[in-house]
Amino acid sequence: MKKVGVAILGLGVVGGGTYQILTEHREYYQKTQDVDIVVESVLELNRERALALGVPEEKVASNIAEVISNPDVNIVVEVIGGIGCARDFVLAALNAGKTVVTSNKELVCKYSHELERAAKRHNAGLYFEASCVGGVPVIRTLLDGVQANHITGMMGIINGTTNYILTKMSNEGASYEEVLKEAQKLGYAEANPSADVEGFDAAYKLSILSSLAFHTKVPFIKVFREGITGIATEDIAHGKELGYALKLLAIGKQSEQGIEVRVHPTFIRKEHPLAAVNDSFNAVYLTGDAVDDVMLYGRGAGALPTGSAIVSDIIYAATHSENKYSTFKNNATAEKDVKFVNDFSSAYYLRLTVADKAGVLSKISAIFGRYGISIVEMIQKANENGQATLILVTHETKELSVRNAVSKINALDEIAKVESILRVVA
């Protein structure tokens, strides 16, 4: 039976999960895959942690050179994260002809061109299923399952932390700050939550997924990004009344106008399958010209779900003699002839505080009319102090038109103020 040696760089949550799966399922893979996958080395500064996980002492390496020079190691798993030493270690492994399996979305998003070049030069594999949406096999689906299609669109809930926060805010009417604190206490959110709550994590993943879906490099800087830190509980409640759920959506589209990629909080109709994706669950909804709609749902993070994605890559690499690389020209920047849509179109939800007196509404609607913005729905609720709250939902219109109209409304002699603007998927 073929024997394949694995090294794991980093025994944190995901590294630990990967070690557990590989050791507990070793005999199962011998039976089902006809391959003996053995953990030959781990690189973990906290030796005690490695030993506590059951790693034999002689397999705990002291430095990267020891791992890479080990002839029994065929596949190096990188689960350190970030683009510091992880990038150097991955490049060193590839340059030594070792196949790399990584869960590092920032590394793949920003340096896939450099890594793939090194991998090809040294006939090594480079696999990164775990970099996007944890245990949900979206990368394999894009690379294999839906290759027959022109993918025209994708929408995803691809960050579990923000989905957990928005679900709690919606169910409990709690504020963003309250739920974030609780999520940090439970270990769902990081002590420094900005990568998740500001949408960076989702934008890295969208850059990777849309590059694969649209067969062209979609650089991170092309992704429009807005996080959830400014979300008011009040808006979630108004949206609910109108039949919407609020989600941090990652949206990718490809049409004659070009490629459009954006991450932002979005109201989606409660009948849409993505509206039912709650708590820390993730989902990706793809649309292809032949297959129509496909939705993948599952756990986007965690030791065993992410370990599952890593081990699937290990098994793929161990059982295929040919390496599989990305299906697009993998450069640092976008191809010159590829167009990107900057001024995208969407429907919008707006909440305004207005003076509750004659003539105000007509001034507001005149501004919308001037910018070609058509209203689908409007609710007015009387407040105290002679003011009212106006909730408006528009037909699809250009982002720039909405921004211009909002600045004109805000300049209306203090009789109207736009409190929130959220995009809507009808």
Q: Using CB under 6 A, list all residues that contact ligand HSE.
A: 159-161, 196, 201, 300-301
Candidates 2, 72, 80, 79; CA nearest to 39 is: 72
Instruction: Return phi, psi of residue 390, to 5°.
Output: -110, 130
Structure tokens at 377: 């729905």
Identify which of residues 13 and 360 has a Cβ nearer to ligand HSE in the complex: 13
Nearer to ligand HSE, 198 or 234 (CB): 198
Q: Residue 139 or 352: which CB sits closer to ligand HSE?
A: 139
Give me the least distance between CB of 196 and ligand HSE, in Å please: 5
Using CB atoms within 10 A of its CB, is residue 191 exposed (0-12), middle (13-18) or buried (19+)?
exposed
> 211 or 216: whose CB is closer to ligand HSE?
211
Closest among 416, 413, 407, 368 to 389, alpha carbons compared: 416
Burial class (CB in 10 A: 0-12, 13-18, 19+), 392: buried
- Least CB distance from residue 228 to ligand HSE, whole Å? 12
Q: Residue by residue, what is the 3-state secondary structure of 379-401?
A: EEEECCCCEEEEEEEECCEEHHH
- Closest contact distance (angstroms) between CB of 366 and ligand HSE is 44
CB neighbour burial string for 295-322, b if at least 16 within 10 angstroms, e if fewer? ebbbbbbbbbbbbbbbbbbbbbbbeeee
Instruction: Please state, in angstroms and as integers, the Cα–Cα distance from residue 81 to each residue in 87, 106, 189, 350, 386, following that order.
Output: 9, 8, 16, 38, 53
Q: What is the set of active-site residues?
A: 205
Q: How far is the CB of 12 from ligand HSE (least distance, A)?
A: 12
Q: 201 vs 260, which CB is nearer to ligand HSE? A: 201
Please state, in angstroms and rounded to a whole number, the distance separating the CA atoms of residues 231 and 298: 25
